Amino acid sequence: MKMHPLHRLLRAATLGGCLVLGAASAATGVPEWVKPGEVRAGDQYIGVTTFRHDGAIEGDLFLWAESAVCGGSIGGDLIGAGQDLGLTGAIGGDVRAAGKTIALSGKIGRNAMVAGLDVSFSRESSVAGSLVACGKTVVLDGQVRGKTRVFAEKIVLKGEFFGDVLVNVIDIDKKDREDWELKDALIVAPGAVLHGKLIYQGSSAELQPGAKVAAFEWIKTGEAPARWLSKENRRRVWGFVSFLFTTIALFLLGLALHRWFPALFMKLGEFSAQKPWSAVLYGLLAALSTVPSLVFFIVLLAMYLILSPGLGMLFGSIAGAAYLALYILSTVPVGLWLGNLAFRKNPSALNRFGLGLLLFNAAVYLLGLLAGYHVGGPLFSILSFIVKFAAVLFGAGALLFLVKEFFAAARRG
């Protein structure tokens, strides 16, 4: 049985959120509590094992936590990831949350987008705007004023929905359709009120007595829908998955550097922030020396392979791994530089790095999307190449400077 591509994306996003959470929790294991009556001005960036919020946050809240309960008020947006997230307070802006278990019983002033294995909205919850919910099991009670979109294996609708409700449905071009076999179930429970149209694609639907649905359209599994997932949209979906996991992998790499070599990590951040043009110069010198270095490397490797094949393979593997490591690690200084530039008020160097890394990868992902359009696509493609090339120059230069300083200190010592 083929798995629906959105189910794959959901599982990837959920796993990604849990990995980010685990990394941040390992970095800052001290619990944090915003106490009743406490007011925090401006945006808050919090990465802890456990978090409790009973006060007031006037700006946005960016949250990484293993377990979090937000019962206080948030004036702006909530963007968070965690294993268990409980949102019981009033949130003035949007909610963007991913994790294992997400339970919401508060009020959201604008839109909500949540992804988790188990997602539940209680009867006391309300969403003033639109709602997008992804999960293995999604249970929706309360009120949603705007449109509701749900992607899940088991869906239970209990609340009041003023806009249309779309379940496992995507509006895509008719061409290149695929017939996916979905094994899911929709239950519209007694007391549920759907003022708009309910559109569902899946294998099992049950409208129980006492449920009120204005209009219902069921696209049964095994019947190719009129509009389905094209190659272009599959490319965009997997591009997002790639962006997500690249960001997570690089964050975990930066976390490892921070934990094992904290002094070098801090020095790398200071050099990136204080001497960015020096980093670019070092990277440019490294790029100019790459071609003669590769020629020398190939000649030397050929000699080793002729004289001693075993030693040649070992030497080639080490040299190749060194070049690959330099390329992969080059994004770390970029994240540090962007984080220090855009989030300098954040006291945590690791949080600044994570946010800067997310900002850079999001920019590269957006340029990649724009490059796929016919109008202006070539221009964005060129711009994307320039940004990536400049990032490699900057990051590799900063790392080479750090290596030079390390050997200089070793000689002095």
* Residue range 379-395, pLDDT digits in tens: 777 877 787 777 777 77
Q: List C-alpha distances in Å: 29 to 23, 25, 26, 55.
A: 10, 5, 6, 21
What pLDDT was estimated at residue 223? 45
Contact of 230 with 173, CB cutoff 8 Å: yes
What pLDDT was estimated at residue 28? 47
Closest CA to 199 of 188, 211, 210: 188
What gap in Å lies between CA 136 and CA 343, rounded to an integer?
35
Determine which helix (DSSP H) or strand (DSSP E) holds 24, and give its type and residue range.
helix 5-27
| CA 324-328-333 angle, 5° bins | 135
What gap in Å lies between CA 339 and CA 350, rounded to an integer?
9
What pLDDT was estimated at residue 203? 81
* Residue range 271-329, pLDDT digits in tens: 777 777 666 666 666 555 555 555 555 555 565 555 555 554 555 555 555 555 666 67
From first CA to last CA, the distance across the chain in angstroms is 63
All residue ranges of the chain with pLDDT < 50 are 1-28, 172-181, 223-229, 312
What gap in Å lies between CA 46 and CA 80, rounded to an integer?
9
Cβ atoms within 10 A of the Cβ of 55, count?
A: 17
What pLDDT was estimated at residue 347? 65
What gap in Å lies between CA 149 and CA 246, rounded to an integer?
27
Residue with tokens 């200084």: 333
Cβ atoms within 10 A of the Cβ of 222, count?
A: 10
DSSP string, 238-297: HHHHHHHHHHHHHHHHHHHHHHH-HHHHHHHHHHHHH-HHHHHHHHHHHHHTHHHHHHHH
What pLDDT was estimated at residue 335? 79
What pLDDT was estimated at residue 212? 95
- Amino acid code (one letter) for 231: K
- Amino acid code (one letter) for 216: F
What gap in Å lies between CA 398 and CA 381, rounded to an integer?
26
Contact of 251 with 229, CB cutoff 8 Å: no
Domain boundary assignment for the chain: 5-229, 232-412
